[in-house]
Amino acid sequence: MEEYSEMNGQNDEQNTGGEFGGSYYQHNAMPREKKSGQNSCAGYILVGILCLLVGIAVGSCTTTLAISGIKEAAESVLPGEDKGSGDNDDSGFSFEWHFGEKKPENNRPAKDEEYEEPEKKQYTGREMPVLDGQVPIISDTVNPAPDIVEQTFEGVVGVNSYEKVKDKDELEGYGSGFVLSSEGYIVTNAHVIKGASKVTVTLPDNDKQEIDAEVVGYDSTMDIAVLYIRKDGLKPLALGSAENVRVGDFTIAIGNPSGSELAGTATFGIISATSRNVNIDGHENEYLQTDAAINPGNSGGPLLNMKGEVIGITTAKNIFAGYDEYGNTISAEGLGFAIPIDKAVEVVEELITQGHVARPGMGINVIEITEENAEEYDLHPGILIYSVTKNGPAHKAGLRVDDIVTAYDGINVTTQGDFVDYIKDKRVGDTVSLEIIRGDEEITIDVTLGDINEMGDELVGNRTSSLFD
């Protein structure tokens, strides 16, 4: 079973993760360490009272144990009961959930939630700033790394993400970023800042001072965000190109693993692959692969070539490769991924000049039902609707969890990839006709595509499919 999530700017919290070759991909925004609570005397008193009450009750309840035990046994096998949380996964894959987020419980509402027209967002465009980064001056051509690190260090920043807790902003996570222009624009990963109540930036010359940052825009499909700060004397990095990168080329990654304590950490490696198609959090993109060490907190930092130019934005690493014959996890080392800068700049320009990137989508997570799956689970082959985003296009059109798509615009479903690519090639506002199997019915539903970067973060009924549980 292969899973796909359309995921959007605010809908990533409900994403069910992404699969690629049995590997586990972790975004590297570092969550803030939670402080443990302290026990109070009242807790001990409460436990004492409860124990006393239990002791009194034991004598009176023994006569009903047999009856209640039979009743519970009967309820446990009643058809339609949902005893699990829906989180069990026997596929051998594991999925990463972003910091500060929880998996949706697989609860089943008594009835579908009513669709409510979402508020239309307004965007403000700006002029594209001058990209005025300077290429480092290399004095040692045999080992240019020290010159590169010394001259690019000031252009790498820390990015802090806050969440609102009881009307107060509390630090929830942190990542990295780099200065794009001396005019105040900074690039980082979308997953570092999405959903934040406040975002701040720390500069390498004073990592104790946090500068309030404005989120210009972000695109979760490519996992790119642009921030703006008011600060003179910023040191922008020079942008290169990933077009002519070759396997074996040396690379340097600079970032803030584990936050400000290790700010400006530089790691060295090679390009392991130049165009690796990887599905991370339901989005399949083309990445540079590197063995330069990338750790939590590195997200959004630059990947540099031996000229000191940015050729990629570090975004994820593989932390384990699978399981051995005994079920133990096998650690993976040296598998890091970065967004090629050429594609990133296209998104950055659109975010700055238009305020957002329009991405066509329905607001659904889907799973492919292969012939083998269909036979094993007694289902019809096709595309299973795993979850539906509340107030998204699919919700508005009447799609439901557990619907199975068998055709779209008259095209019979062959693979999930073909279906996803078909939607990606459409435009916001286009209508796609879906042929659906719902229980014993065959119905047709027309869905008008929306902008997935404008959709909310809730699932309809907070529900996901349990057909594969």
- Pick the catalytic residue from 12, 94, 182, 223: 223
- How far is CA 210 from each of CA 36, 85, 150, 171, 446, rounded to the nearest angstrom? 25, 40, 23, 12, 48
Report residue 81 as tokens: 């009961």
Q: Would you call 299 a catalytic residue per the annotation?
A: yes
At 63 the three-state DSSP class reads helix
Cα 50 to its chain centre, rounded Å, is 43
Contact 226, 216 (CB under 8 A): yes
Cα maximum dimension of the chain = 88
At 270 the three-state DSSP class reads strand
Helix (H) or strand (E) holding 353: helix 341-354
Q: Would you call 191 a catalytic residue per the annotation?
A: yes
Using CA atoms, how far apart are residues 20 and 282, in angstroms rounded to an integer? Answer: 10
Q: How many CB atoms lie within 10 A of CB 169?
A: 14
What does the DSSP 8-state code read for residue 418?
Answer: H
CA angle 315, 318, 320 (to 5 degrees): 160
- Pick the catalytic residue from 27, 98, 191, 395: 191
Helix (H) or strand (E) holding 59: helix 41-61
What does the DSSP 8-state code read for residue 127?
Answer: P
Q: Would you call 223 a catalytic residue per the annotation?
A: yes
Contact 15, 223 (CB under 8 A): no
Report residue 98 as tokens: 């972003």
- How far is CA 275 from each of CA 87, 247, 263, 435, rounded to the nearest angstrom? 32, 10, 29, 35
Helix (H) or strand (E) holding 314: strand 310-323
- Pick the catalytic residue from 299, 356, 395, 403: 299
Active site residues: 191, 223, 299
